[in-house]
Structure 1
Amino acid sequence: MGDLMKEVADTAARERLWEPGDTIVVAVSGGPDSTALLDILQRLSQAQRLSLVAAHVDHGFRGEESALEAESVRRFAEGLGVRFEAAFIDIPAFIEETRMNAQAAAREKRYLFLHEIAQKYAASRIALAHHADDQAETVLMRIIRGTSPSGLAGISLRRTEKNVELIRPLLRMNKSDILRYCEERDLTYSEDSSNAKRHYFRNSIRLDVLPALTKYNPQLSDSLVRLAELASAEDEWMNAETRASYGRHVKLVQGGCQIDRKAMLDLHVALQRRLIKLILNYMGLETETTSFDGVETIRTAAGDGAASTWSADVGGGIRCLREYDTMRFLHTGTEVNDAQPVRYEYEACGVEEMTKRLAVPEADAILTFTLEAPEDGSMRSGRMEAVFDADELAFPLTVRNRCPGDRMRVFGLNGAKKVQDMFVDDRIAPSRRERIPLLIDANGHILWIPGVRRGASAQISSSTRRVLRIRAEFTSEDDIGSNKTHSSIHSIGKNVGGPGIAE
């Protein structure tokens, strides 16, 4: 077994790049790297019981040159006894239609084709021919453009995309070793003329920037590859820590999720940033569109010195809100529109019916009304319970959400206090204020705001003969009070990966 072939076999075994019996789609452009990869995998296939499919895409950039390349790949695959699939994709027309960058457009269409072939043959893996020189170029490109520690990890040896694993068996092998393998095996390959065009950023890095920098460090490429290896391992560990922090601190609620800002600020700043990115990623925001400045804006808004209420669109149809000590991430349209609140009003109980259970779905609340005798511990109450002298109440009682200008007479104060001011005093989140139920008597007086304050009306006294006890129970995580009975768990997005950089 040749040195390069042995290296690939050893890497595959150590990293578990495939299992015996796997079907692997091999992306073959016709260049030396993918030609060597297909030859190596074919030579290993019998001993490791691999079933191979060679897949080639003609991007339509180079006319007859591309067509000849496709025919050469077909003959090579057939000569190895490997099944062959090819596609012609008019990328120039696609670019004209979408205005995409040429390389990004080619990559999108190429990967789409590879996944289609993987699905056709029920393949569990797609093998790509990226090598160590590609890795060095990628890391340097990202440094020049600006990147995060995740970006320094460069191209991954393996990652899952659309339930298929993308593997790169040559990623730790140098280009010079690959060319030597092709020469030793007398393999015929094509040279892509576009690789010499310097208007492509990667080509400029390979042809000009790396050679210039190598004057200062002859081992620069090796150093960049080693940096990627280190960054990849540390990034994997940080991603695991971030997911653990997500599980400990993030609560799913209707339309999104929330986290206690103090719990977030207790994390190391590196975890804070990654956690914010992970939340946005889980909600459907592509990692590439999450800028450093955007993440820092959210972190700053959670700080002790920032405004206690704040909101901002963060892109992708997602809005971030700070509501006192809660940071909320919601899909646009989920939060309550204060300008046009949804009105609700229910009859709670009448003079003849004072035992009742009333559901208030707009508030995710249930109110229970019970008539008691004074001697039955009727003075007991709390933020979620209130007791009234039933004979001092004006029936029927109703339950509704607040109206502009609402005031309530408060025990111990002269006059009435605005409900809005009470919400601010009690740090009730703005998104909750329009949904909180208010208990109203027949004269329009506010008797009680569950979880906030009881009014001055119908106080229990020594002459009280009948007590009306009312208990409030909220049923979702983002509601006020302390007697939440369960979480209302909802899916917040389709992405389930970590906050790493896509390739």
Structure 2
Amino acid sequence: MVSAFQKVAEKKELWRYGDAIVVAVSGGPDSMALLHLLHSVSKEQRLRLVAAHVNHGFRGEESERELQTVVRFAEGLELPCETVTLDMPAYLQENRLNLQAAAREKRYAFLRDTAERNGASIIALAHHADDQAETVLMRLIRGAGLGGLSGMTDKRAEKNMELIRPLLRMNKSGLLQYCEDYGIPYMVDSSNAKRDYFRNKVRLDILPYLEQYNPRLSSSLQRLAEVAGAEGDYMEQQTELLLESIVSRRQGHLEVSCADLTRLHVALQRRLIKLILRYLLQENDYLSFEGIEKMRLAALPESPSTWRMDIGANLVCVREYGIMRWFRERSDAAVPALGAGGYVYKIAPGLQALEAEPSGWTFTFHWSAEPEAGNEQTAGYLACFDCSQLELPLVIRSRLPGDRIQVLGLNGSKKVQDMFVDEKVPPSCRALYPLLCDAGGRLLWIPGIRRSSHALAVKDGRELLYITARNE
């Protein structure tokens, strides 16, 4: 078993020569075997081991005996052992939390603290192959996808630590025999026989029942985890490449064209949406299959050209014509005041540059008495004005209800809202789209769209103002 243990560690690169490792030891046969196995290879690998035990305070004297058993065993191996005793029943009553989730949170916090105090970046956990089979079956019952069916991983990063599971390919029966062969003491957790928890029901009732139809069900579930994990890793790599190649980041938005998204295989569509959400969310609570499917279907050609979905945590997904966008909505307090969530910036004479931060646009100003080459009145993102006809100071602001512009080349005025629709400006960008006005409130220019017929530049030596707009 020691040889198999070493081979798995080398193949999966669970640690490096000379690493410091905190070993989570509950006192059961699995974790006690793990501590002994790591100790068996520690001299050759120059590993520095620290045992860590958490007494959650659920089982009174039994929990205390577990703690003492772990401490004595670690002392016999001449390893340091750090312990903590918690009053989890009181903590749960005070905070009204889920028992298992709260216990895990406290346990992992102690393990991370222990690792930091001892200069370790690796925490070893004693989950084994039978635990893996139970985990896969539990997730299958709950309706997990391919990612969930891959079960627990050999190693994964969590915050600033790396969690490793060296026993993930060893069965419980083998670990029990190992303890017997080497005279390793261990305790049996009496709560494992109670059917209060879903995992215990799976272990005690569901797996034994299903094994009537497949005596090797546990091995089959472990193999399923291996296959799903490998295929999931490959799909994740492909999705990462897609994120870099077809998803763009613009004004704090992640966006992809509907055409690029829908031409992918449906499996990659779902994975890409999920990966985008993972980049924007800290928690996985909002990553439901149903939600991801709604976003995927919204990108189809037959779906409405404009669509919106509030995901949660201020995150929004919108379809705007041919583009799917994901972004966090700003709170009203995040932008300068002008109406509901708007902004306004004054342009003093001589100003050279301005960043209208809420909109993501930047402007440069060139005040000159000499016409520049071409002297275009407007060229998309460049506009030129006769300063003598402007009522200063100019302002750049967001849109207000009823805004209209006297469009150059057209008779009469036109609503800004109608121009946004005509130009297919995404609805999510309209509220903060910058408009150039003079001090009298006259709308002079909608950058990238149209300018007004007011203050046209003339070649008679008057001072001119050239404004360049950029949206990056």
Q: Would you call these one fold, judging by a TM-score over 0.5?
A: yes
User: Contact 1:255/1:334 (CA < 8 Å) preserved in 2?
Assistant: no
Question: Which among 393, 415, 429 is matched to residue 418 of structure 1?
Answer: 415
Percentage identity across aligned positions? 49
Please, which of 111, 114, 117 is the counterpart of residue 114 of structure 1? Answer: 111
2:289 aligned to which of 292, 314, 319 = 292
Partner of residue 8, structure 2: 11
Change (3 A) 1:84 1:372: same
Contact kept in structure 2, 1:25 and 1:54, CA below 8 Å: yes
Q: Following superposition of structure 1 onto structure 2, how do residues 25-424 of structure 1 map, counting pairs within 5 Å?
A: 25-253=22-250, 257-333=254-330, 340-344=340-344, 346-347=346-347, 357=352, 359=354, 361-362=356-357, 363=359, 364-369=361-366, 376-379=373-376, 381-387=378-384, 390=386, 393=389, 395-396=391-392, 398-401=394-397, 402-424=399-421
Partners of 2:467 and 2:289 in 1: CA distance: 47
Per-residue deviation, 1:118: 0.9
For residues 470 and 366 of structure 1, what CA distance do their matches in structure 2 show?
10
Q: CA deviation at 1:62?
A: 1.0
Deviations along 1:240-266, one digit per CA (max 9) or x if unpaired, are 222222223344455554444443334
SS of structure 2 residue aligned to 1:217: coil
Shift of 1:135: 0.5
| Matched position secondary structure for 1:403 | coil
CA contact (8 A) 1:131 1:172 kept: yes
Give 3-state SS (helix, strand or coil) of 1:303's partner: coil
Q: More displaced, 86-95 or 410-419? A: 410-419
Give, as a single letter, the amino acid of the residue that structure 2 aligns with 1:19. R
Q: Name the CA shift for 1:94/1:256 in 2 (closer, same or farther; >3 Å).
A: farther
What is the one-letter code of the residue matched to 2:342? V
1:112 maps to a residue whose letter is A
- How far has the Cα of 1:410 moved from its partner? 3.1
TM-score normalized by the length of structure 2: 0.88
Distance 1:400 1:415 in 2: 23
2 CA distance for matches of 1:439 and 1:189?
Answer: 76
What residue is the counterpart of 1:473 in the other structure?
A: 469
* Conserved? CA contact 2:387–2:465, under 8 Å: no
Q: Secondary structure at the match of 1:229?
A: helix
Q: CA deviation at 1:67?
A: 0.9
> Which has the larger displacement, 124-133 or 337-346?
337-346
Secondary structure of the residue aligned to 2:111 is helix
CA distance in 1, matches of 2:343, 2:64: 67
Secondary structure, counterpart of 1:248 in structure 2: helix
Distance 2:441 2:122 in 1: 69
Q: Which has the higher contact order (CA 8 A, sep 6+)?
A: 1
2:377 and 2:456 in contact (8 A); partners too: no
Equivalent pair of 2:53/2:82 in contact (CA under 8 Å): yes
Q: For residues 459-488 of structure 1, what are the alpha-carbon distances to aligned partners after superposition, in whole Å with 9 as ceiling and x for unaligned?
A: 68xx964685734221x42xxxxxxxxxxx
Structure 1: 5+ residue stretches without partners:
350-354, 478-503
Q: Secondary structure at the match of 1:19?
A: coil
**Aligned-residue offset at 1:453:** 1.3
- The number of aligned residues is 465
| SS at structure 2 position matched to 1:320 | strand
Q: Which amino acid in the other structure matches residue 37 of structure 1? A: L
Amino acid at match of 2:178: Y
What amino acid does structure 2 have at the position aligned with 1:129? A
Q: Assess, with a 3 A threshold, how the Cα gap between structure 1 residues 45 and 276 changes in structure 2: closer, same or farther.
A: same
- Contact 1:311–1:319 (Cα < 8 Å) also in 2: yes
Confirm or deny: 8 A CA contact 1:5 1:40 kept in the other structure: yes
Q: CA deviation at 1:321?
A: 3.2
Change (3 A) 1:239 1:166: same
For residues 225 and 357 of structure 1, the distance between their equivalents in structure 2, rounded to whole angstroms, comes to 65
